[in-house]
Amino acid sequence: MEIIPAIDIKNGRCVRLFQGNFTQETVYDDNPLAVARRWVEQGATRLHVVDLDGARAGQPIHVDVIGAIVRTLTIPVQVGGGMRTEDDVEQALKLGAARVILGTAAVHDPELITHLVARYPDAIIVGVDARDGMVATAGWLETAAVEASALVQKMAELGVRRFIYTDISRDGTLSEPNYAATAQLIQAGGPAVIASGGIANSSQLQRLAEIGCEGAIVGRALYTGDIRLPEAIRSLAHKEAA
C-alpha cells in the first residue's frame, strides 16, 4: 500500500482543515513547493495536491503553484480541487499531473466522467467525500442526495478504475479512518480504493493495508509528527513482506 502525503493549498499556503471547515484551518507552511520537496526527500513515491480555493470556487485557482510542484518533482502527483470540466482536466495533465481527481462532477455530470475515462482511463480518479454516508460536493459545502456506496457503484459501471474515499467527519481530526465504510467499497477484482481522513498512526495504516486499500492519503499526522514518513514506509514494507 502506498502512503501518499497530502498538500492542501489555500491562499497560496500549505494548510490543513478540520473536518473540511474552511474557517478552521491550520497553516503549516507558506511554501507548498518546499513542503513537496520535503516529502520527496523523506521517501514519498506520490503526492496528493488539492487546490482548496479551487474546490470552493468551482474552478482551479492555484494553477501556478501546482504547476511548480509538478514540474519540480520526479515523482507522480495527483491533483484535485475545482476540476469540473474537460478543460480543467486537460490543463492539469498538461502541467504534468499523473492523475486528476473529480468529485462534484461525478455527481452532477456523469457523462463527463464517461468521456474522460474513455480518453484518460488511468488518469481519472473519482473522489468520494462523505458526510454521514452521503456524498458532499462543492468543496464539501453542499450535500448531494446520493450515498457514497451508490456513487462508487455507478462510477465503476462507467469505467472508473480508482477512487479516493474520505469520511469528512474524520478528516483532519487525528482520530482514525472509517474502516467499515472504506472496506465496504473494496471488492476483489474491483476498482482500487485509496483511503483518506483521520489517519493518525502507523498501526492505522497497517489496518488499511490489511483491508485492501491501494493507498492512504496522510495529511495532518505528517505535519504534526504523529507519523514520520520514512518510518511509516519502512514499517509498512516490513509487515507486507512478512
Secondary structure E strands in the chain: 2-10, 13-18, 21-29, 47-51, 77-80, 99-102, 124-131, 134-137, 142-147, 162-167, 192-196, 215-218
Asked if residue 177 lies in contact with residue 198, where contact means CB atoms within 8 angstroms, the answer is yes
Active site residue 87: no
Within 10 angstroms of residue 41's Cβ, the number of other Cβ atoms is 10
Quick one: how far is CA 185 from the chain centroid?
Answer: 16
**Cα separation of the two ends of the chain:** 14
Amino acid (1-letter code) at residue 24 = Q
* DSSP labels, 67-124: HHHHHH-SS-EEEESS--SHHHHHHHHHHT-SEEEESHHHHH-HHHHHHHHHHSTTTE
Pick the catalytic residue from 8, 51, 53, 167: 8
Active site residue 171: no
Pick the catalytic residue from 51, 88, 129, 171: 129
> Which of the 8 DSSP states describes residue 197?
S
Q: At 80, phi and psi to the nearest 5?
A: -145, 175
Which of helix, strand or coil describes residue 140? coil
Active-site residues, by number, are 8, 129
